Chains A and B, each alone.
Chain A
Amino acid sequence: MFTYTLRRLLLAVPTVLLISLVIFMLLELAPGDPMADMPLTIPPEVRAKMREALGLDQPSYVRYLLWLKQFFWVEPLHLVDIWFGTSYGEGMQRVVSWQTRSPVVDLIAQRLPQTLWVVGMGYFIGVSLAIPIGVLSAYKQYSWFDQLGTFVSMIGFSVPTFFTGVLLIVVFSVTLNWLPSIYDTTLVVNSWSTFVLQVKQMIMPIMVLALFNAAQISRFMRASMLDNLQQDYVRTARAKGMTEKVVVLLHVLRNSLIPVVTVIALGVPSIFAGAIITEQVFKVNGLGQLLINAIQSNDLPMVQTLTFIFAVLIVTFNLIADVLYGILDPRIRYD
C-alpha cells in the first residue's frame, strides 16, 4: 500500500509542474499589458522602471521559475506567518493582482468561504440524495421509481446549470416572490431573522448544484449496485437465510460504495471550477466570479493563480481517489 501511494504521489508532481508550464505558456501569449491603463503622461523611462518593478523585463523562463517560487515557497511562508505570527516571508515579493494591487492569495482567501459554503453544500446534498436514489433504483430495477429516476437524472445532466438556475429564479423569485434572486454576501448572520435570510438565499444555488450532482452520482450508484447484486456472495448471503435488509444494506451497499466513493472524490474539484456558472447566475461573489472578473479585466496573475489552483485541486483529488480506491479495494493495490 505504501509503495502504491508513493508511486501515485511521485507521478502527481511532474503532472502539476507540466500543468503549471502549460498555463504559464498559454498566458505568455496574452496580448494584454499591465501598463496599458497607466496615464500616457508617464515618461518612458519611468514606464520602463515600472515594468522592471513588475518583473516584466526578465526572459520568460526566469519569470516562470520566479512564479513557481512565489507559488510554492513565498505564499506558503506567508500562510505560516499568519497562522503562527512568525516573519519568515517578510520582504519577499508575493503574487500581486494587477487589478487591485493586493496579493492574489489574500483575495482568494476572502472569496473562498462563499464558494465553499454554497457550492460545497450543493455537492453534499447532491451526494446524500444520490446514494439512496441509486440504491433504490437498482434494487427495484425497471420499476416506476427506477424509470422516474433515470428520466430525472437524464434531465439533470442534460439541462445546463445556467438554465436550471434561471428557471428557478423565474419561478421562485419573479413569479412567486419567495426567494431573493441575488446572493447578498454582505449579510452577517447574527440573529434568527438574518439566519432565515441566509438560508433563503442559499436555497436556489444549492438546489441547482444538488440536482446536477445527484443526477450523475445516482447513475453511478445504480450501476455499481446492479453489478454487485448479481454476484455470488449475494446468493450465498440469501441462502444462509439473512434478511433482505442485511443483504442489501450491509453486503451489497458496502461493496457498491467503493467505486462511488472514488467518483465522489473525483468530483470535488468541480465544486470550485464547475461552479463558475452557478455563481454567475446568482451573483455569488466566490472564486468563480473572481476568475471571470479577472479574465474580463486582463488580470493575468490572478487568472494564472486561480487556474493553477483549480488544476492542483484536480490532481490532488485524483490522487486521493486513487489512494482511497487502493484502501477500500485490496485487489487494486498491485505492488
Chain B
Amino acid sequence: MTEGAVKPAAVDQAERPPRNQWLNVWDQFKTHKGALVGAAVFLTILIFVLIGPLLWKTDPGFANLLMRNKVPSLQFPFGTDELGRDLFARMMAGGKVSLAVGLTAMSIAVLLGTLIGVTAGFFKGLDGILMRLTDLFLALPLLPLLLVMVMLFRESLANKLGPEAGIFILMVISIGATSWMQTARIVRGEVLALREREFVLAARSIGAPPVKMILRHILPNTLSPIMVAAALGIASAIIVESALSFLGMGFPPDFPTWGRLLFDAVDHLQDHPNRVLLPGIAISLTVLSVNYIGDGLRDALDPRIRGR
C-alpha cells in the first residue's frame, strides 16, 4: 500500500502505480467486520467438511450396533445415532453433500439468470417475452412445485443414474431452475443501463458483433451484482435443499445431508435433543456466514462506497 495517509496526497494519488482493482475490493471487504467473520466461519466449515474426512477415518455409514445412542465422548466427539453410526463422520459427509448441492444449484441459477438477464437486456425484441417468463416463474408457488418435481422424477432418475447421483442431479436442477429469477432481473437492469453508455456505442461503431460486445464490455461490468447474487444464492439453495430433506423429500435415508440428519433426529427429540442441534447449527451457521459474505461483497464491489 502507498502511504496515502500523509498529507500531500494529491500528488501521490496521481503518481501511484495502478493497483489491481481486486486488491481495492479486498481492502474494502476487510473493513466489514461481519463479512470478515462470515468468511472465517465459512472457511472453517469448508475445512471441516473437505479436510476433516481425511483425518477422521470413521465410515459415516458404518452401523456399529454395540455403540448405539452414545453421548459425545473422545471416541465419538458428537456421539452416535440409533444405529451406532458416528455422528461426527456423518456431519462431515452430510456437509459435503449440502455444500455441493448449494454450490452447484447456485451455479446453475446464476448461469441461467445471467443468460436470461443479458439476453433480455441486450436484445430489445426478446425483452418482453423473457421478462414475462420471469414474472411467470416468480408467480409460481415454488416450494410446492419443488416437492411435486421431486416426487415425479425421483424414481425414474434414480433408476437411470443410481439413487444418489439421480437425486443429486434432480435436486440441483430443480433448485437451480426455480431460483434464477432475481439474478435475471438484476442483470437485465444493469445491462439496460450499460447498453446506453459511450463505450458500448464505441464498440458498436467499430463493428463489434453482439456476442463480442456482451463478453468483452457488458459481462465484466455486471460482475458485481452477479457475485452478490451468487453468494446469496448459495445460502438459499442450502436452505431449500435442507427443507426438502426435512420434509422427507430429499436424499435417501442412508445418504446423509444436514437436512436429512435433522429430519432423522426429530424422531429422537425427547431423548437426544443434542442430535437436532448439531445439523441445525451447521446449516444456520453456513447460511448466516454466506449471507454476511454477500453483504460485505455488496459493499466492497460498489465503487461509490469503496472510495470513502
Binding site for B on A (CB under 8 A): 15, 18-19, 22-23, 26-27, 29-31, 154-155, 157-160, 162-163, 166-167, 169-170, 174-175, 181, 269, 273-274, 276-277, 280-281, 291-292, 295-296, 298, 303, 306-307, 310-311, 314-315, 318
Contact = CB atoms under 8 A, between A and B. Distances in A.
Contact of A276 (B144, B270, B280, B291): B144
A18 B134 CA distance: 13
A295 B249 contact: yes
B246 interface: yes
B33 to A, nearest CB: 11
B148 A169 contact: no
Interface in B264-290: 266, 269-270, 273, 276-277, 280, 283-284, 287-288
A162 B139 contact: no
Contacts of A27: 148, 152
A157 B153 CA distance: 30
B284 to A, nearest CB: 4
Given A158-B287, A295-B148, A163 B136 contact: no
Contacts of B145: 23, 26, 307
Contacts of B239: 160
Contact of A311 (B141, B156, B243, B280): B141
Q: Which 3 A-B pairs have the closest CB atoms?
A: A310-B141, A163-B280, A158-B288
A291 B239 CA distance: 20
Nearest to B142: A273
B47 interface: no
A160 B139 contact: no
B71 interface: no
Chain A contact surface mostly: helix
A160 B243 contact: yes
A158 B292 CA distance: 10
A84 to B, nearest CB: 31
Contacts of A163: 262, 280, 283-284
A277 B246 contact: yes
B275 to A, nearest CB: 10
A277 B288 CA distance: 20
Contact of A303 (B148, B243, B288): B148
Contacts of B269: 166, 169-170, 174, 181
A19 B276 CA distance: 38
A181 B270 CA distance: 10
B235 interface: yes
Contact of A15 (B135, B143, B266): B135
A166 B266 CA distance: 8
Nearest to B279: A163
B152 A273 contact: no
Contacts of B276: 166-167, 170
Contacts of A276: 143-144, 147, 247
B156 A31 contact: yes
Nearest to A275: B143
14 contacts: A15-B135, A18-B136, A26-B145, A30-B151, A154-B288, A154-B291, A160-B242, A163-B283, A166-B269, A169-B269, A170-B277, A276-B247, A296-B248, A310-B141
B140 A158 contact: no
Contacts of A29: 152-153
Contacts of B248: 296
A27 B144 CA distance: 12
Given A158-B284, A166-B269, A277-B247, A307 B141 contact: yes
B50 to A, nearest CB: 22
B155 interface: yes
Given A273-B143, A307-B144, A310-B144, A162 B277 contact: no
Contacts of A26: 145, 148-149, 152
Contacts of A306: 144
A119 to B, nearest CB: 14
A18 B152 CA distance: 20
B247 A31 contact: no
Contacts of B283: 160, 163
B144 A19 contact: no
Contact of B288 (A155, A166, A174, A274): A155
